[in-house]
Amino acid sequence: MKRFNNAKMENVSINMNQSKTPVYFIDEKDIKDLVKQYNPTRKIGDVKIPELEKKINENPFVDSANVYMNLNGNLNVDIKQRVPVFRLSKNGKDFYVDEKGVEFPISRNFSYPCMLVMGDVDASEYQELGQLVEKIDKDDFSKKYFIGIKKEKDSYNLLTSDGNYKVEIGDLENIDFKVKGFKTFVEKYLVYQNPNKYKKISVKYNNQIVTTLNPYFKENDSILRNAPKIEIKSEVESHKTEEKKSEPKAEPKKEIKKAEPKKSEFKKESSKPKKVEKKSEPKKSLDKKKETSSKSSSDKKKKQK
């Protein structure tokens, strides 16, 4: 300390510990600017190592930092940056999540290629969701098909690059079994079909796969037309239909008004025969009298002859 206290700090060694996929959220220039802030005199004895290390660790892109001085008077800064596991779009905001489930912002200088996750994902699910993304990245089949994850009403869906369908997996349990079921479905059936035929393929149920047809695919028109239609009416709708059925009860009043002239016509028609009967009765009696009288006169003439 007596030798280096008043000596100038000439060298600052910054080591960025990179993972398999390198990240560049921060660079050496950013760290050197911090070193100057915490050592304005540039003397070795004036360097505030604990405060400098704490300040570097407060950076959201830094996972861990270690600051130390060697025997030659050189300052060393070892930094490990955060590596995103997936990028989350939630409530109109985008940010990264690392393997520890820690959120950190998106950088203007660097964009890391990773899985996009959308929906209202709870922070308690970050680590399980990160494990799912890692399994997809390690599996060649899954990496080829799945390009994103979306959460809808407490159910997770895997977005695919082949066609417009999504793969419903439900919760984050038994992921290996669910992905294996989808792989079997693809290899034994979907390979021979048009990928645009389906809207959704669900593997969340045990030992079964449920598919939903795409209504905008022309080849599905005949299938959807012949499918049985199931109508489900709510209580409000059924009440309205009952009211509509009861409305035509007022129509008989109009029919009665229109039918009144017919009754009067019927009365007039029925009255005519009565008058005819009165006039016809005496005619019949007279005719009978004439007939009897003629018969009697003819008999008399016969007798006289």
Supply the pLDDT for residue 256: 45
Residue 156 corresponds to which tokens in the numbers above? Answer: 């997770």
Strand residues in the chain grouped as ranges (E) = 12-17, 62-69, 75-81, 84-90, 93-98, 103-104, 115-118, 146-152, 155-160, 166-170, 198-202, 210-213
| Mean pLDDT, rounded, for 95-109 | 93
**Number of independent structural domains in the chain:** 3
pLDDT of residue 7: 77
Residue 244 forms part of a structural domain = no
pLDDT of residue 281: 46
Q: What is the pLDDT of residue 125?
A: 93
Average pLDDT for 1-30 = 83
Query: Quick check: is 171 in a domain?
Result: yes
Tell whether 112 and 169 lie within a shared domain. yes
- Helix runs in 58-173, H state only: 126-138, 140-145
CATH number at residue 36: 3.10.20
Whether the per-residue pLDDT at 146 is higher than 70: the answer is yes
Give, in order, the Cα–Cα distances in Å from 105 to each of 25, 27, 177. Answer: 10, 16, 34
Question: Quick one: 52 and 161 in the same domain?
Answer: no
pLDDT in tens, 66-95: 999 887 778 899 999 999 999 999 989 999
Q: Is 93 found in the same domain as 75?
A: no
- Whether 253 is in a domain gets the answer no
Does 74 share its domain with 103? no
Same domain, 222 and 148: yes
Question: Could you tell me if 33 and 120 lie in one domain?
Answer: no
Q: Is residue 62 part of a domain?
A: yes
Whole-model pTM?
A: 0.67
User: Quick check: helix, strand or coil at residue 138?
Assistant: helix
pLDDT-based confidence at residue 44 (cuts at 50, 70, 90): confident
How far lies 29's CA from each of 69, 81, 112, 117, 305, in Å? 19, 15, 20, 32, 167
* Final residue belonging to a domain, choices 62, 81, 100: 81
Is residue 33, in this structure, part of any structural domain at all? yes
The overall longest dimension of the chain from CA atoms, in Å, is 192
User: Looking at 81, 110, 128, which one is the last position of a domain?
Assistant: 81
Same-domain check for residues 194 and 99: yes
| Domain boundary, last residue among 174, 201, 226 | 226
Question: Residue 144: pLDDT above 50?
Answer: yes
Domain of residue 72: give its range: 12-81
Specify the CATH number for the domain of residue 183: 3.40.50.11690
Looking at the fold, whether 58 and 77 belong to one and the same domain comes out as yes
In a shared domain, residues 111 and 194: yes
**239 lies in some domain:** no
**199 and 132 in a common domain:** yes
- Mark whether 111 and 180 lie in a shared domain: yes
Residue-wise pLDDT tens digits, 170-220: 999 888 899 899 999 999 988 888 888 889 999 998 888 998 988 887 776
Pair 185, 212 in one domain: yes
Decide if 294 is inside a domain: yes
Q: In the 8-state DSSP scheme, what is residue 173?
A: S
Residue 233 placed within a domain: no
